[in-house]
Structure 1
Amino acid sequence: MTLTVNAAAVNASINATGEEDWYKFQSSTAGNYTIRTYGSLDTYMYLFQSDQSTLITENDDGVGVGYNSVITRSLTANTWYYIKIKGYNGTRIGDYSVDVKKQTETIITLIVDAPAVNAAISATGEEDWYKFQTSTAGNYTIRTYGSLDTYMYLFQTDQSTLITENDDGVGVGYNSVITRNLTANTWYYVKIKGYNGIRIGDYSVDVKKQTETIITLIVDAAALNAAISLTGEEDWYKFQTSTAGNYTIRTYGSLDTYMYLFQSDQSTLITENDDGVGVGYNSVITQNLAANTWYYVKIKGYNGTRIGDYSVDVKKQTESIGTLIVDAPAVSAAISTAGEEDWFKFLIITAGTYTIQTYGNLDTYMYLYQGDQSTLIIYDDDAGVGQGSNAGITLNLNANTWYYAKVKEYNSTITGNYTIDIKSQPVVTLTLDTPPHEDAISIIGEEDWFKFQTNTAGNYTIQTYGNLNTYMYLYQNDLITVISVDNDGSDIGYNSKITQNLNANTWYFIRLRENSGTSTGSYSIDVQSPTSTVTLTVDAPAINASIIAVGEEDWFKFKTGIAGSYLIQTYGNLDTYMFLYENDRITVIAENDDVNRPGGNYNSMIRSNLSASTWYYVKIKSYDGIRTGEYSIDVKKETETVATLAVDAPPTEASISIPGEQDWYKFQTSTAGLYIIETYGTLDTYMYLYGNDQTTLIAENDDIAHTPDSRLHNSRISINLNANTWYYIKIREYHSTVTGNYSLDVIYEYIGQPPKKLKGYSRDGAIILNWSVPLLVSPTSYNVYWSESENGTYTLMSNVLINSVTYNGNLGLRWYYVTAIYPGIGESGPSNKVSVSPFFASQIVVDAPPINDAISTPGENDWYKFQTGTAGIYTIVTYGDLDTYMELYQSDQTMLAFDDDDGPGLEKNAGISISLRANTWYYVKVREYSTTAVGSYSIDVKGPLASFVTLTVDSPPINVAISAALENDWYRFQTITAGTYTIHTYGELDTYMYLYQSDLNTLTLIAENDDAPGSGRSSGITMNLSPNIWYYVLIIGYHNYATGNYSIDVKTQPVELLTVNATPADAIISTPGENNWFKFLTNSTGYYTIQTYGNLDTYMYLYQSDMISLVSKNDDGIGTGYNASIIQYLNAETWYYVRIIEHNPAITGVYSIDVKNDASKSIGIGTNIKEDALIVPSSSDILIYPNPASDYINLVLPGDFNNLIRLEIMDLSGKQIANQNLKKDQQINKTISVQDLPSGLYFVKIVFSDRIVLEKFIKE
């Protein structure tokens, strides 16, 4: 329906819930128009632009008119506008009427420096307009007076371009004040309204011209005294340079000043400064200026609000530009005053790579410029020799060109001496797959540079050889971007080794130095391409090969057929050393020097149980790296035999005759019961027990003491087995590198037997003994005997009723054994003997399959030990249903770390990731978390991060597989910029994903996921990550037992631009769990509203410009249903980022979003909140005590509610200090710490679905 402006009200009605009535009207002239409803119906009104979709404003209840809606708005001439009216909340029905009135208004002319003009805001939404004309350029002040809380806008001559705005001028209460430097002979427009558009009352307004001059400063003269006497006042100065160079303009005194330096046009800003380094509130600008040029300086009080006295001067800095000669000795220099900058220049004759380097203890910062001394090429802090305080820049430079270097102290606060030079860097070209290049670090601190060109894409290995402890950097072809660094390669001691996936037909650069920067010596280096690997065929004849150069390494690969034991060995007179790697060519499976067989002392051999249909890599080198000669190599699939053991028969003699050999046995049970499978002898054995399919692992064991002369090398499995069933046993030597004899038997436990599996350990100052309970006939009690020595006289210590005992106090080292008292039988023979020292530890092999174990007694501690190989991050993890607690110790029992539930898989598993030293023993203690439960678990240790597969952001997914239960796949990727990244798996495998952050010492879990929304079994994590950081990803099969193929990738999320006060932008959540990112640039300081629209249930996050620091978040904006809304006080000219997700990650849909900077500044006011709900409630609404408070407040909200949304704490500016989402029926009675808040007035805000309640408190 069309409404006529200034006509009688039109009668209408809302007849059904949810009904909406639409109207349109056309404005005639520009100005204020009022749309108003009448009657008893509680209406809600919206005003739209002529497109009928762009919302201008909305209103529930006009001030003072009960349930009727009123909108007063300044509108454009000759334009159609649309009105939508509904019953409040969409549920009210009834009759109403509506009309549109044009407000009579004029633009009043203000005379500069005339008395104030009296005026009034007589209606809500009314706006008064004024204009004035300047005479001369300068500072003008427009100010209101009176009790009305005004809000003022200053516009350009077009009456639309906003110059600035102001609410409350400093020190003048509710009045507005604007002081601005304006152009001469120009008309300006002023708009004044009541604060929030709802305040009415009388006021007056005037315009005053500030008396000002531009004062001339004389360079090197005494400082001039001056003052800022009014808020917003700006003082102007000018000075003329004589010669080119550094000039310093500085203020003095107690006034907190802010200074601007302009070009001679008085408008082009050169630089600005708040507080000069080390001089408190004073401003300091030091700038390199041109000769014989006028410059202008503007000084104001900080924030335009400070007033007071100050003085200012300009000084010419005495300086010279030192000349550096390429490859000449270093030049001595010094930073003698804080903030000083030294300049140097040098001429490059021949194009090439050059290094500009500082030396000494001064923490220097260096800038490199083009020949114009202003175009910055690159800068550096600590890339110089030693990686400490020295600066160093290495770069390709052009021939016959001057360059400039600027050096300062890092913080501009310290002084000291340093030296500087420029050196030409010879870059040696390395040819792929050729013998190593011989070179040397001949001078302490020297760095060598190399380059090579790839042929095909793939993994390239760059490696050094020799006794020099090298440190290697791999760069992109810009010689700046570091791809990877390495100190000591995983299997090569002091030598460096980088294996990296590189692009085809690309140049890469290598920088090499001695690790400590204090030694010299020789080394060699080579680059191996992906195509340098020779393929071996399983069970084919041996192929001939040779080591023809010192330090050379030969690479081979082969693919297995079926799973099983494979034998890789060399033949010939060359003393070889062999490494076996996983298919990533990084993870070492095994290594071997000399095989123990006739004529084979120099040959290498590795026997290993390998997976089916998998590629493996073999590296062969000479034993000491300096031998050369010929050899041959092959790979054989081994045929395995199974020996039969008889239960309760004498031990069977056997041997491991070849390193890596595995012996198989089988035995058949007759009756169900407890069986003990045990090895004897000096060989360090490792035992596996399998079911009758020879595949299903039932149990495994490394070491257990069982006789007085045992040396913890024998294996033992005690387990309850079924009757008339075949079981299989596999025995290997623990390290798979040693040979020797052992014996083995299988025993069935009997009635009246001695106690078995006696354990002794120390815990918290107590000595604890426990042993297994016979399953057939339980003893009535046990006798515990002790002795000072293993073979000494044993004395009865105590009789106990259960199979454990604890003795308090420090009894020292003692030996113990236990006997059992059986009903009708009497005392059994002795158990095995144990000596109680700090602990007994079962050995874990790094990167071996998990060891199965159990907590069989409440409070029991299991101890393990493992030895590191190379230094790096090691991960110790438990698996299974038992809720484990883990502690990691050094060999001197110093605790390094502990963990409860950070392990992968079930929440009950423990996991520790930590950086450990090389070739060192560490000990692990595992207990059940509550010390009251028992159960089984398994444990393993994984090696350093070098074994992680690198993912490239935004590259195609890589195909991988979980091929065995309990397998862990590790990945890493490096972010480029801050933002949202998504790590996702694909395929049929049910994966579980963990995301870690690393400080290079520990791995910290930051997120985990089972099934990504809408993706079935695949895992996905979408998260806001920091720039230039390595992150690590762990993938396991769900619950550790799922196996199969999958793929994985890492993707960045795009960021869309929002313009403040523009039409809402359309957006879509198109895939479940998707994150949408937006950014916007604020124009002025003030309150901004970020709002979504539509039917999608959005959730909004607002971030600082780093995309990480959270400013605020919101689910459902007050009164807007599913839409999210944030009202926040934001800084001027600052980028902010917004992240939008669907509240339910499984849902998708469309929405729109915009940013407005005309939001209300009242704390928590939403556009749909009724004014009568915005109250400061009495103590019966919110009870806060003590008030004032110093350390904490108690917060109580009496009553029962079912529409609570959120609790917030804010300061006077409206800045949110803290927030907490509430359950809708939550009872509020809590204590909140405020001890870290500055003294001042604060508000507690509780948001309901239909209102907001506030209460204030004072922090002392």
Structure 2
Amino acid sequence: MKRYILFLLIISAAAAMLPAESVMSGLFEAADQVSSDIPGILHRDGDLLLGGLTFNQTQVQLGDLLADLTANRLAGRSGFSPQIVKNYTMLQYPPAQASWVLSGTLYEAGAGYLLLLQLTDTASGSQLKGWEFALGDEGIESLLQPSVLAAGAGVWDRFEPNNLSTEAAVIELPFNESGLTLGDGDEDWFAFEVLESDGESVLMLNAATGGMMDTYLELYAPDDQGWAIAENDDFDGGNAALQIPLNAPGMWYLKVRSFSSEEEGEYSLMVSLSEVVLGPGEPDEGQDLASPLNIGSTPLEKRIDYSDDRDWFRVDLLRPLGMEEVLRVETLSNLDLVMEMTDEYDNYIMDDDDSGNDNNPMIIASGLETGSYYITVYGYGGEIGPYEIMANVSVPVKDEFEDDNSMISASQIGTMGERQRRNFTPMGDEDWVQFEVQNEGRFLIKTEGELDTYMELYDGNGDLIEENDDGDDYNAMIERYLTPGKYYLKVYPYGSAGPDDIYELSVEQI
């Protein structure tokens, strides 16, 4: 004799009052139809779990009532003899232990509600049957209160318990599942097997969550489930995403949790693998695998292969830089890239985003000793694509007004609107300029160029009287009434600037 274990969801006294006939009519129809169809679908021994019904991502008492109605009808079916277990909690019997799960979702639809039910095979995750029923809205409000079961036992999906790496739900890829749930303090672990690659390509993991929850995604290697090798929080709103090559065969692990341990709700998870041929020089993640970047050589062709890709380069200085020499490392591309520089002990030196040509990153470092230095390049906002990178040692060409790096050494500028072409060389340079006002009046002081400049105006006593950042786009501009006397200007870049970044400075009485 076939035997099935049927678990009932218990209804609280607050929900004991029957709702309006229109609601009950729909529930009776649903229970009749489902209990009529199920015996013809389940043809082997196993446990049938009547799971919860969610509304706005919360299990509600309407599902408890529907479970009882369905259980009563199944118990009266000839040839179908379920064993009804009373007063159970899901902590005693998680959904993953059942052979089949009947669950559903309730949606608002115009003046009423739409009830969607599905019968799922737990082992394969496939849906065996689905039903749709229309429910009226009169009197339904009391049944939309949180389920007593959900409040007492937490939120579960068909993969529970999978709160530990040792309980990870093994999934087959590609995997795309909605209706997954996280309860208070809950974590969901999933495991998937990766086979050896063919040597010419690598397997790229693509994993992403979806839904309204703020989720956090972590990836663990086959040999260590105690330390995440990659993680992501907010790739797209509150959803998380990972894209990373898997460099070893074996069982890999993904952990999904809510950003706040107290947040509960539903989410979806998509996991897939794709074969990718990586760009030149890969793998190059970390100092040990860094690609040599020879000083003075032709540009090295590289590629950002995926959103989390970071390309490492090693620059070897065989002698200390001279007093005016700089190491200049820059990229050429149509991408929005970021560059960082560290020494061989992983000490941070500097970083840059868009100081080079066409908003490419460029690092200009001075005062470096003999040794190895490391450059990392990655896409801003997950950009991918080809680029070139090169390194040179040079003495930057200063503008003709240097050295004017202090108020004492300030260069001269007239007040007739003449334009002085300037740059900020070497790195950290600031330009000091002085001018004389013979006749009081209004003066326009401004910079022009593609550089983001900052300007400060001082009187003859060295007191700051006005400053400006973005008076005209990124250019600085001060318009002010000045009395006769000596004045000083200090101009410097807002952010970093290279020797190729030119700006013009002018002072004019208007």
More helix by share: 2
Higher-Rg structure is 1
| Greater per-residue strand proportion | 1
TM-score band w.r.t. shorter chain:
0.3 to 0.5
User: Structure 2 length normalisation: TM-score?
Assistant: 0.42
Bigger relative contact order (CA 8 A; separation at least 6):
2
